[in-house]
Amino acid sequence: MRIESPRLLAALPELGVEYRPGTSLAELTSLGIGGTTDLLRVGQYQHLPALLRMLQEGGIEHRFLGGGTNVLIGDGELGWVALQLAPRGSAADAQIEGASVWVDASADLGRTVTYCARHNLGGLEGLIGVPGSVGGALRMNAGAYGTEIGPHVREVEVYRAARKANETVRGADISFEYRHTSFASGDIMLRARLELPERPYEEIVAGIRVCNEKRRASQPLNQKSAGCIFKNPPGGSAGRMIDGLGLKGLRRGDAMVSDRHANFFINAGHATCADMLALIAEVRSRVRAAHGCELEEEVIVWNA
By the criterion CB under 6 A, which residues form the site for ligand EPU?
Answer: 144-145, 218, 227-228, 231-232, 237, 239-240, 243, 261-263, 298
Closest alpha carbon to 168 in 152, 151, 192: 192
Q: At its nearest, how many Å lie between ligand EPU and the CB of residue 96?
A: 27
How would you classify residue 146: left for phi > 0, otherwise alpha for psi between -120 and 50, otherwise beta? left
| Closer residue to ligand EPU (CB): 169 or 210 | 210
Q: At its nearest, how many Å lie between ligand EPU and the CB of residue 117?
A: 19
| Closer residue to ligand EPU (CB): 100 or 181 | 181
| Closer residue to ligand EPU (CB): 81 or 262 | 262
State how far the Cα of 90 lies from the Cα of 103, in Å rounded to an integer: 10
State how far the Cα of 236 lies from the Cα of 53, in Å rounded to an integer: 43
Q: How far is CA 195 from CA 97, 201, 225, 235, 285, in A?
A: 9, 16, 31, 29, 42
- Nearest residue relative to ligand EPU (C-beta): 227
Closest alpha carbon to 56 in 6, 21, 8, 18: 8
Strand duo 62-64 + 81-85: pairing:
parallel
Contact criterion met (CB below 8 Å) for 103 and 122: no
Where do the H-state alpha helices sit in the chain? 6-14, 48-57, 109-118, 134-140, 201-218, 238-244, 273-291
| Closer residue to ligand EPU (CB): 21 or 249 | 249
Contact criterion met (CB below 8 Å) for 124 and 142: no
| Closer residue to ligand EPU (CB): 17 or 109 | 109
Q: At its nearest, how many Å lie between ligand EPU and the CB of residue 213?
A: 12
Q: At its nearest, how many Å lie between ligand EPU and the CB of residue 300?
A: 11
Q: At its nearest, how many Å lie between ligand EPU and the CB of residue 298?
A: 5
How would you classify residue 16: left for phi > 0, otherwise alpha for psi between -120 and 50, otherwise beta? left
State how far the Cα of 98 lies from the Cα of 194, in Å rounded to an integer: 11
Q: At its nearest, how many Å lie between ligand EPU and the CB of residue 295?
A: 10
Closest alpha carbon to 38 in 12, 67, 71: 12
Q: At its nearest, how many Å lie between ligand EPU and the CB of residue 269?
A: 21
Report DSSP letters for 108-153, one per residue. Answer: BHHHHHHHHHHTTB-S-GGGTT--SBHHHHHHHT-EETTEESGGGE
The phi and psi torsions of 208 (rounded to 5 degrees) equal -60, -45
| Closer residue to ligand EPU (CB): 76 or 244 | 244
| Closer residue to ligand EPU (CB): 61 or 296 | 296
Q: At its nearest, how many Å lie between ligand EPU and the CB of residue 84?
A: 20
| Closer residue to ligand EPU (CB): 75 or 297 | 297
